[in-house]
Amino acid sequence: MTFKTLTVAGLLAALPLCAAAQEAIIVQSTTSTANSGLYDHLLPIFSDKTGITVNVVAVGTGQAISNAANCDGDVLLVHAKASEEKFVAEGGGTLRTDLMYNDFVLVGPADDPAGIAGTSDIEAALSAIAEAEALFASRGDDSGTHKKERALWTAAEVDPASGSGEWYRETGSGMGATLNAGIGMGAYVLTDRATWISFANKQDYQIAVEGDNDLFNQYGVIPVNPEKCPSVNVDAAQAFTDWLLSAEGQEAIGAYKVDGQQLFFPNAPKQGS
């Protein structure tokens, strides 16, 4: 099959107006991008420009990748680069491209039982939590955040499974539900910053650890491969991907703020570079 890359303008030129209005795609994505309100900001801009409707399925990254691999989507937008590259290598996607980034933060209660508040070494902080057997709430759902958390425990040379059901609690839930559960039990929680900024039920919780390079959080975008999934709406999926990576799309990502704080930082490769 020949892949055709269309710009947004090219797509509009190629489709009659009534056909463009009927175009629709499914984006398999993460809870962080949806819960933060980013799609509520971006999608009307894109749909008004193209007539393409974008429907978002917001789940953990692992589930989003699985859904896309099962041909239940047209575009994948998640944040676990190694898993994304594996998805492409196995033929699930055509090309993975960096889209934007933010970072993870470790939040905790005001009484800070592990004594880590105000530090920036995430591995040392996790070691202190384990040593103190302070409560830690994990998503436990194979999401991008959970994958990052497991990598951080490994770097800290700590096996949290040894405290499973005691000080280490797995919720099997999304980021918002895990924050609610963690705050309810007085546990530390690793979360992406965008979700934390947007989260309404902070109570006495504060960011305890931030600023470590290991907390970097990269997002990527991947059109689903029509050679594996013939149902993919190729032109509309590529148009959405191209728009996100374009100067206009990148500017729109950077312009999104909550309470005056920028949630995502665009870093797609410059077009033509």
pTM to 2 decimal places: 0.86
Burial of 181 (0-12, 13-18, 19+ CB in 10 A): middle
Say if residues 84 and 223 touch (Cβ distance below 8 Å). Answer: no
Find the angle CA(139)-CA(143)-CA(144) to the nearest 5 degrees.
115
What are the structural domains of the chain? 8-101+218-266 (3.40.190.10), 103-215 (3.40.190.10)
Indicate if the pLDDT at residue 205 is higher than 60: yes
Mean pLDDT across the stretch 112-126?
Answer: 98
φ/ψ region of 180 (left if φ > 0, alpha if ψ in -120 to 50, else beta) reads: alpha
Say if residues 32 and 26 touch (Cβ distance below 8 Å). Answer: no
pLDDT at 35: 87
CA distance 256 to 251: 9
CA distance 139 to 102: 19
Kindly report the average pLDDT of the chain as a whole number: 92
pLDDT at 271: 72
pLDDT at 272: 59
Note the pLDDT tens digit of each residue in 229-241.
Answer: 999 999 999 999 9
Note the pLDDT tens digit of each residue in 50-61.
Answer: 999 999 999 999
Q: Which of 54, 55, 57 is nearest to 31 (CA)?
A: 57
- Give the dihedral sign, CA 56/221/251/6: negative
Band the pLDDT of 22: cuts 50, 70, 90: low
Residue 202: CB partners within 8 Å, gap ≥ 6? 183, 196
pLDDT at 5: 35
CA distance 179 to 191: 8
pLDDT at 270: 86
Band the pLDDT of 32: cuts 50, 70, 90: confident
Indicate if the pLDDT at residue 6 is higher than 50: no
pLDDT at 223: 98
